[in-house]
Structure 1
């Protein structure tokens, strides 16, 4: 997961995206309508790969549009971006724990795509990568490949001890409850003018996880294990030495839990921060390398790592 983006610039919005459409995809279990944007390639083929992008905490799907459009237009891939329930709604939302985002929202989008396309590749950014720890085994087992971008164990002691760490602690353990009780939701956008407003229980659960070395635990402290055991596809984990929030230990601790994966590779690259991978001007060269994994499961280290 990522810190609340208080020091980040506002999320990128794009007024016109070619070959895209907005649809509602039913969540698993309760069929809650998940708002998604679908990018269709110009020349779709029956065996084309579908890429599902799951967002970080405090982000919206529009932030991922440049990467989605690149995959669709340059590499003939179907791409789906979506928002978790309760994002930016500014009101209490039922079923609003992180595991509901995983087991209902993310699972619903992945299930929809698995039914429609021959292959589904999941790209999880930060919290989006954490989804695999919580997804139903029946979904995890069907994913063809998984790209983890800055996906981490969010235990506080794995954070870098810097200004961002102080802001994280303040937002999670000092400001959280007064703000949630006053507004009825966590007002990241309303108060801090960054990220998005979100359900209170998302932040409460995140704060509890950040105090636990295992991170992904239920209310009784029992570790979620099914997701880690059921993801068997190739995994490429991409993270960056200049990440604003987390140490390399945080990334490695998370990635190594996927014991059943047929192939796990990590690219720990020098520059990219926690968010910049999805910004076209900064990462286009890296996108050209990552797409080899998305399409062919090629995990060879990128040539740019030596530059």
Structure 2
């Protein structure tokens, strides 16, 4: 996004309290004109909120109040008290799981948006884990419509070859043993950022299960909360994404059994590029294609 385009919106770094009071680092993007929508952007695993700032500003230009934020242990939310607190040298002993991200962090972010923008439609954007989390929320009925990008039930056998074998090998022979030894999952082992120990281990357990998180009997709300969502849902699947394959996206969407999710598979050729993959949607080169179409669907009454 150009500097001129970014100047079209107001941005403010804020803190959003999680359900248990943990401060989540967030950024609020506001249009200079009237606000007509509220959009919460929910991140992928090991992905800081800065990845989404271009798309967030784009939505704000089109009349949306947008919030991006970091789950606990990630990016700015690795800090323990307030913005500016020195980061710990490692995440050893830091207590958090993927279930905590959904039930404590995402749930609170939805509530914060709903309370602040009571008279606006609340829309939800989920990338990878960010889409998975919607089905686990006790308050997902507050969301009017949800757009998923590369969100999937990430069972390893649903990934494309040879990526599925690389993932299996990494998790079982490197990632899990290393995480148990060090007390956290280090970024240098091949993930985006350092991850809290139980975040990584819970994710690794899900990846090994044929129905991913749906097979985790310890996961509160894995059935009932998915069924509670009755808003609109569109899931974007990219043909060259080795992780969020059509089968994996369909498996996640099948959990939302109170509605009929719409799944769109997009090939790079469809938008005139060579690759999109798991993260490519957020490149500014898609401003007039993928972003435009996403905003047109997401920003509706």
TM-score (ref. length: structure 2): 0.84
SS in structure 2 at match of 1:109: helix
User: What is the rounded CA distance, in whole Å, between the counterparts of 1:36 and 1:132 in structure 2?
Assistant: 18
Query: Is 1:52 matched with 2:56?
Result: no
- 1:32-67 Cα offsets, whole Å, 9 max, x none, are 10110110111134xx21111101112110000110
Correspondent of 1:254 among 252, 255, 263 = 252
Q: Deviations over 1:82-133 (max 9, x none)?
A: 0100115431355411111001001111100000112211000011000012
Corresponding residue number in structure 1 for 2:153 = 153
- Equivalent runs, 1:207-246 vs 2, <5 Å: 207-216=204-213, 217-218=215-216, 220=218, 224-246=222-244
Match of 2:296 among 277, 292, 296: 292
Residues in 2 aligned to 1:191 and 1:209: alpha-carbon distance in whole angstroms: 19
Moved more, 35-44 or 282-291: 282-291
User: What is the match of residue 179 of structure 2?
Assistant: 180
Query: Contact (CA 8 Å) 1:160, 1:246: kept in 2 or not?
Result: no
Task: Identify unmatched segments of 5+ residues in structure 1.
Answer: 1-11, 298-307
Distance across 2 between alignment mates of 1:158 and 1:224: 20
Distance (whole Å) between structure 2 residues aligned to residue 22 and residue 198 of structure 1: 23
Q: CA deviation at 1:228?
A: 1.3
Out of 33, 38, 49, which is 1:43 matched to?
33
Q: Alignment partner of 1:273: what SS?
A: coil
The answer to whether the 8 A contact 1:140-1:231 is kept is: yes
Partner of 1:114: 114
| 2:84 match | none
Q: Which residue of 1 aligns with 2:130?
A: 128
- The verdict on how the C-alpha distance between 1:43 and 1:83 changes in structure 2, with shifts beyond 3 A counting, is same
Q: Using the alignment, how far apart are the partners of 2:71 and 2:170 within structure 1?
A: 21
Matched, 1:86 2:73: yes
Aligned 8 A contact 2:238 2:245 in 1 = no
Q: Check 1:100–1:223 CA distance in 2 against 1; reply closer, same or farther (3 A cut).
A: closer
Contact map agreement 1:122 1:145 (CA 8 A) in 2:
yes
> Is the contact made by 1:51 and 1:79 (CA closer than 8 Å) also made in structure 2?
yes
Kept after mapping to 2: 8 A contact 1:276/1:283: no
3-state SS in 1 of match to 2:299:
helix
CA RMSD of aligned residues (A): 2.3
In the TM superposition, what is the alpha-carbon distance from 1:181 to its structure 2 partner?
A: 3.8
Runs (4+) off by over 4 Å: 219-223
Unpaired segments ≥5 residues, structure 2: 79-89, 269-275
Counterpart CA distance in 2 for 1:257 and 1:143 is 16
Q: Which residue of 2 aligns with 1:20?
A: 11
User: What is the number of equivalent residue pairs in this alignment?
Assistant: 274
Deviations along 1:236-270, one digit per CA (max 9) or x if unpaired, are 11111111324311111111221112x52111111
**1:32 correspondence with 2:36:** no
Residue 256 of structure 2 is aligned to residue 269 of structure 1: no
Matched residue, 1:77: 64
Q: Distance in 1 between matches of 2:114 and 2:265?
A: 30
